[in-house]
Amino acid sequence: MTDLLIQNADVLLTMDDSRRELAGADILVKDGVIAKIGMQLDGGDCARCDARGKIVTPGLVNTHHHLYQTLTRAVPGAQDALLFGWLQRLYPIWARFGPEEMFISAQVGLAELALSGCTLTSDHLYLYPNGARLDDTIAAAQEVGLRFHATRGAMSIGESDGGLPPDALVEDEAAILSDCIRVIDAFHDPKPGAMVRVGVAPCSPFSVSRDLMRDAALLARDKSVMMHTHLAENDEDIAYSLEKFGCRPGQYAEDLGWTGDDVWHAHCVKLDAQEIDLFARSRTGVAHCPCSNCRLGSGIAPVRALRDAGVPVGLGVDGSASNDIGNLAAEARQAMLLQRVQNGADAMSAREALEIATRGGAQVLGRDDCGQIAVGKRADIAIWDARAVENAGSWDAAALLLAGPCKVDALFVEGRAVVRDGRLATIDLDRVIGRQNTLARKLAEA
Ligand SMILES: [Zn+2]
């Protein structure tokens, strides 16, 4: 495999166990792994990347997304709605998607993430209309070159059973479980350095049955894969849980096997002190999605309290129908700002936000091989141009989140270039954007 030498970084923010920050350092990559970090390393005849004038960080990790939603950004009627109304506006549009919509929208979302420094992303795909399959998004990720934690989502309670989604978008529960087994067997790679992993991810407590939540957890544990869902997103969500299940979301999750270090929940805006304690004790992870929470008016997640209690927290851009931007660097900045709104200017530093965006996310996704620049870790590396206009005049590398830039100059995954000179190096992005816009117009005209 290609060896690589990244040379003379102005600042290298390693996010390693001692959070070292090095000036003028080199990184030598062999077989997709960081082999050496130091000054003036000898790379022999390997490929070189000149990082003079650049800030080098671990690749960012995105723990929650619905890539398919890049095809429904800024949809009129969904721009100003609360969560449940927003879903009801969008469900009929999503019901017209098929395999090509899933593939192209995923490539757009993945490219957008890559340009914002993301090297590892999860995706939560919970609807499979017109022959769409999880396979479509995995194929998209393999072409773009990002490390991918796909999750096989699902909805099973349609309108006629008192659920929120239209009946056309829900699936039979036995079929859901058997497709989970199919995609795990076909794609899940448990080994260190895996480029594709698969998780099990019923959409939310309000779109699947109690039985499916329990069975999904049993299946995931039987297969040794991770589990993901939405939890405690806003006040409506809490009210629904109290009314339908007679308990708060944390209790519901615990009763059905949905706590543990193999589980991560998106949002968790409304977790109370007891639930935070439950998550801390059980090492249950949280995907914090600050922009989506702002966009849908859901509230500010208690990230300071979660982190102080020891809960693993990563960041998520969430789907592009509720953000509607998929820029993970901007998401890290927003996470920092929201904690300051809630708790004061000293509540979260730029460096802590970057830590959540890198090693925090890797921990949430069960990836101790990613999320930091250290010898033996995978070579997932983001390089930011400190000569960019947003960074001009900055005194410290904290400017990366306090100021910018929020797009990378170069990005390496497993030592391979995904972004070079600020452009996607793996796919013809202009062609993909053209196709995406054609598909969006068709959906709008239907
Ligand atoms: Zn979501």
Q: Tens of pLDDT along the chain (446 residues)?
A: 569 999 999 999 999 999 999 999 999 999 999 999 999 999 999 999 999 999 999 999 999 999 999 999 999 999 998 888 899 999 999 999 999 999 999 999 999 999 999 999 999 999 999 999 999 999 999 999 999 999 999 999 999 998 888 999 999 999 999 999 999 999 999 999 999 999 999 999 888 999 999 999 999 999 999 999 999 999 999 999 999 999 999 999 999 999 999 999 999 999 999 999 999 999 999 999 999 999 999 999 999 999 999 999 999 999 998 999 999 999 999 999 999 999 999 999 999 999 999 999 999 999 999 999 999 999 999 999 999 999 999 999 999 999 999 999 999 999 999 999 999 999 999 999 999 999 999 999 98
275 CA → ligand 1 middle, Å:
20
44 CA → ligand 1 middle, Å:
46
Residues, beta carbon < 5 Å, ion ligand 1:
318
207 CA → ligand 1 middle, Å:
13
259 CA → ligand 1 middle, Å:
18
pLDDT at 2: 60
- Chain centroid offset of residue 103 CA: 17
293 CA → ligand 1 middle, Å:
10
Bridge-based pairing of strands 423-424 and 285-288 is: unpaired
Residue in 403, 424, 429, 400 with CA at minimum distance from that of residue 60? 400
- Which residues have C-beta within 8 Å of that of residue 205, sequence separation ≥ 6? 213, 229, 230, 231, 240, 241, 245, 249, 252
318 CA → ligand 1 middle, Å:
5
pLDDT at 162: 85
Residue pair 252/265 in contact (Cβ under 8 Å)? The answer is no
Residue pair 328/116 in contact (Cβ under 8 Å)? The answer is yes
265 CA → ligand 1 middle, Å:
10
230 CA → ligand 1 middle, Å:
6
319 CA → ligand 1 middle, Å:
6
pLDDT at 19: 98
User: Would you tell me how many other CB atoms lie within 10 Å of the CB of residue 161?
Assistant: 10
313 CA → ligand 1 middle, Å:
15
66 CA → ligand 1 middle, Å:
6
316 CA → ligand 1 middle, Å:
9
User: Maximum Cα–Cα distance for the chain, whole Å?
Assistant: 67
287 CA → ligand 1 middle, Å:
9
267 CA → ligand 1 middle, Å:
8
65 CA → ligand 1 middle, Å:
6
pLDDT at 192: 97
pLDDT at 446: 82
104 CA → ligand 1 middle, Å:
19
pLDDT at 206: 82
64 CA → ligand 1 middle, Å:
6
Q: Which letter, b or e, does each residue of 172-195 get, where b requires 16 or more Cβ atoms within 10 Å of its Cβ? A: ebeebbebbeebbeebbeeeebbb
21 CA → ligand 1 middle, Å:
34
User: Cα-Cα-Cα-Cα dihedral of 348, 341, 291, 365, to 10°?
Assistant: 30
218 CA → ligand 1 middle, Å:
23
410 CA → ligand 1 middle, Å:
28
Q: Which amino acid is at 154?
A: A
324 CA → ligand 1 middle, Å:
12
